[in-house]
Chains A and B, each alone.
Chain A
Amino acid sequence: MNRKIFVLISVLLVAAFMLTACGTAAATEAAVEEPAAAEPAMEEAPAEEVAEPVTITWWHISTKDPPLTDWQNMADAYMAAHPNVTIEITVLENEAFKTKLTTVMQSGEVPDIFQSWGGGTLKEQIDAGLLKDITADLDADGGAWRDTFAPGALAVFASDGKNYGVPWDMGMVGWWYNKDLFEQAGITSTPATWTEFLDDVQKLKDAGITPISLGEGDTWTGMHIWSYLATRIGGEAAFTAAADRSGAFTDPAFVQAGEELKKLIDMDPFQAGYLGATHDEMQATFGNGNAAMELSGQWAPSVEAANSADGVGVANLGMFNFPAVEGGAGALTDVIGGGNGFAVGKDASPEAIDFVKFLTNVQNQTTVAASGTGIPVVKGAEVGLTDPNLLLVQQSFAAADYFQLYYDQVLPSAMGGIINDAVQKLFAGTATAEEVAAEIEAGAQEQIQ
């Protein structure tokens, strides 16, 4: 009898453990199925013909609603207005998209319109002759289309003054802060200079508050502080020179960025165990009100809330631009960020370009903003933004003269890992600013040709 009970409990325990594994697997499958379900809808395109029939192929990666339905509705609306046009949408999951795109690119079969993040990958596609130059379309009618975009965002999809795509959403990294904790520490205004920033860090420490939450276990979180410092100190010129190899990552701007970062690290402003913390844990520490600030992107408000214990997160959330470094070439308004866009394939028809223009008109951009899909890049569409935090981001980035695309998106992809690993040594105190700069430069010499 006793034995039977033990066996029963054993079986139950094993089953319970195995079920935990099953649960996750099932959830993944469901997620994968979603895009497939959307496909039949697009085959019911109107067949009636007026002008010459044109087919536009469009690949996007929004596998979930609201954008999944929004994009389809926009395509349907365009097809209704242009009966000769058929838009074939292919929805792919992010990683699957990248793999499939690489394959079709090698065969030269490029979709007319597809998801892009600009920067280094776009440049490689341009060099391979796979994209269409749409500069003339943007400049037509006295630059009517061009003028609708925030200039910083549009430039991400350009190379040598020629445009090969347009943005549809942009985000940026900035300091998110807990207004209540700032008030507790007696800080009345957000810092505009690096010295003020370090002063505020000290004030927070004196008040017994952890100033900054950081998840350096995921090394990219701390890298952003370093790259922002480099942008503030060296400005556009220093980075461009290092990236096109007329300069180097050992140039004074990058070494000084490391030294300034070291000043911050030496104040011990981060939560306990930050060297091993993940990005989620960093968001949790901030979301639970256990730290006053975090350097994070436009995703911060939703992610810190999701990771907080009560699911609500910081009650009084604010954001300020990364402070300017005294004597630096970069301005307080320059921002680091990145976003999504539509790249235009080499075989795109005039109708396809016209459809891209339609996708990025104020009305459709307002839809993107209103549904919380992204921060619009077309002037006037920000009225759709209901989330005050996203509005903060939008204002900050619309005011930027220089938009620094994320380092790992401008530079060859391997550089991201190299910079992250090098900068992490500053946080752990195992390398000096010079050594970190030298390590990044050594990587750049190998990676950037």
Chain B
Amino acid sequence: MQLIPAAQKELNLKKNSISRRRIQDRFVIALFLLPALVLFSLFVIYPIFRSLYFSTFNWKGFGPAVDYIGIDNYRKILTDEVFLKAIKNVLLIIVLSLGIQLPLALILAVLVGRDLPGRSLFRTVFFLPYVLSEVNTAIMWMLLYNPDPERGILNAIMVMFGLEPIAWLADMKIVIFAIFVTLTWKYFGFHMLLYLTGLQNIPKEIEEAARIDGANSIQNFLFITLPLLGSTIKTSVYMSVLGSIQQFILVWVMTKGGPVNASETMATYMYRFGFVRFQLGYGSAVAIIMFILCMIFSLIYQALTRKPDYLTGL
């Protein structure tokens, strides 16, 4: 690259004063970061601290917050049976997701990752539910779950096999599992896609070498594929857990957390008490608790999974 003399001169000048250049560099970096930083601070950092502030008030959202009550909101939330129920539900969804949803996604990824006829079609079909908007999904499943066998296809099938129809979303013991099925249907495709990408990054040679050494396909999967997928699985577990903690739309549209809080999640609890009941101070406290839980999980998870992967840069 040719430099015009003036620029050359300036460059020399800069070389002479490294500290000045460094300052200039920092200035440029700061300038480039500024728009993102301003937006992030304004819409993420500032609201978090604002919520923290409001969470210490008994505040309805109208006018300034004046009724300072310290940590009373937190004390009330942590002793509220409904909130404890919401935590239990979230934990249940996490356990089921990790135990059923992710393995299912992994198995399907391995299957459609192979040279099967029509695999691209299967891949698309499995991924489709994730494309659908959450409200559409919820309404569709509400129709499927309709307790009346003449209107709900699921119960129509049950009746066809001589079984009693079940009120899926109205039974306090069943509702959370019914919602989990919908969640799985909606999100397994996303995790499957993650795994597919991970699988593509595993060099074929390793598997071939293993096969030559006499490993059957199950051994191949357990000792080659799975370990090499390590970092992908870590990401997928991380997103699944955080997604479960924040789960709102599907639950709110399908059951509003009911009947009688049977399918309440932390997010629906926050919405119910913060917005439906106009207790924005209380709702802010719930949000802060959710934020803290997510952060604790993230920190612990990162600390636990810091071990280097078999394949760097995967």
Could you list which residues of chain A lie within 8 angstroms of chain B, going by C-beta atoms?
2-3, 6-7, 9-10, 13-14, 17-18, 20-21, 216-219, 271-278, 281, 284-285, 290, 412-414, 417-418, 421, 424-425, 427-428, 430
Contact = CB atoms under 8 A, between A and B. Distances in A.
Interface in B104-134: 117-118, 120-121, 123-125, 128, 131-133
A218 B148 contact: no
B60 A281 contact: no
Contact of A273 (B123, B148, B272): B148
B121 A6 contact: yes
A275 B136 contact: no
B175 to A, nearest CB: 7
B36 interface: no
A285 B148 contact: yes
7 contacts: A10-B125, A21-B136, A273-B171, A414-B60, A417-B277, A421-B260, A424-B260
Contacts of B124: 9-10, 13-14
B255 A217 contact: yes
A276 B136 contact: no
Contact of B118 (A6, A285, A428, A430): A6
Contact of B259 (A2, A14, A217): A217
A27 to B, nearest CB: 14
A276 B147 contact: yes
A285 B146 CA distance: 11
A216 B167 CA distance: 13
B259 A428 contact: yes
> Per DSSP, are chain A's interface residues mostly helix, strand or loop, or mixed?
helix
Given A216-B259, A217-B255, A414-B279, A276 B128 contact: no
B175 A276 contact: yes
A18 B131 contact: yes
Listed from nearest, the 7 A-B pairs whose CB atoms lie closest are: A273-B147, A273-B167, A276-B170, A276-B169, A10-B124, A275-B170, A273-B170
B120 A275 contact: no
B277 A275 contact: no
A271 B151 CA distance: 13
Contacts of B170: 217, 272-277
Give chain B's interface residue range (CB within 8 Å of chain A): 35 or more
Given A21-B133, A216-B259, A272-B147, A13 B128 contact: yes
Nearest to B123: A10
B276 interface: yes
Interface in B265-290: 272, 276-279
B121 A275 contact: no
Contacts of A217: 169-170, 255-256, 258-259
Contacts of A285: 148
Contacts of A9: 121, 124
Contacts of A14: 124, 128, 131
Interface in B221-245: none
A425 B277 CA distance: 17
Given A6-B121, A13-B125, 8 more contacts: A14-B128, A217-B169, A273-B171, A276-B168, A285-B148, A414-B277, A417-B272, A424-B258
A418 B125 CA distance: 43
A424 B257 CA distance: 12
Interface in B24-61: 60
A21 to B, nearest CB: 5
A276 B258 contact: yes
B172 to A, nearest CB: 7
Contacts of B60: 414
Contacts of A418: 277
Contacts of B131: 14, 17-18
Contacts of A10: 120-121, 123-125
B103 interface: no
